Amino acid sequence: MTQITASHLARRSAVLVAGIVAAAAPLAVTVPTASAIPGEWPKVDPADFRVGGSYYFTSPSGSWKCAIHLDRGAPWAGCQGAVPAGAPRVSGGGVASIHPNGVSMTTATPARFTFYSDTTVEVPRQRVLPYGKLLQVRGITCSTDPGYGVNCAGGGHHFTISTNTYRMG
C-alpha cells in the first residue's frame, strides 16, 4: 500500500491547481460559471443564516453583504458591496444614472447590476459564509472564495462578483 505524506499531497495539489489555472480562460482571477459552482464543497445549515423568511450572509472579507429572499416571486439573491469601476451605470436611489453598488438575480431572470438604497441585503449581526462552503436555499446556491469573491446561481442564471471583477448571466 502506498503511503501518502503531507508534502506529497501538497505537491500533487499544486500540480493539479497549476493545470486548472493553465487551462482556464485568461482572466486575472479564475471565476466560476453557473455550472461550475463546486458541488463537492460542504453545505452549511441554511437555518443558521435565516432571519425571518430570508437568508443573509457576509463574505469573509466583509466586502459583500448578501441575501436570498423567497418572498419576491421566484427565489431571489443579491449582494451589495464595492462593484468594479467598469460596471455599467444603473438608475436607482432616485437618480437616473449612478454607479451600481450591488448585483441581483432570480431563478427566473438573469443577473443585473443594481443600486441598493435600503437594507434589502443587510441585517444586524449578519453571519459570515466561510470560504469553500455552500449555502443552498430553494434552487439558489451561493458560495464565497478569496479568489473570485461571491458567486450565486440558480435556474440557469448566476453572478460572480468581487471588488475587481464580475461575471453574470
10-residue stretch averages of pLDDT, the chain, 169 residues long: 39 34 34 51 95 96 96 92 95 88 96 93 95 95 94 96 94
pLDDT of residue 41: 85
Residues 55 and 44: their CA atoms lie apart, in Å, by 12
Nearest to 79 by CA among 50, 33, 121: 121
Residue from 148, 166, 132, 159 nearest 76 by CA: 159
CB 114 within 8 A of CB 104: yes
Question: Would you tell me how many other CB atoms lie within 10 Å of the CB of residue 93?
Answer: 11
Residue closest to 60 by CA, chosen among 132, 112, 116: 132
Residue with cell 505537491: 11
Whole-structure pTM value: 0.76
pLDDT of residue 93: 75
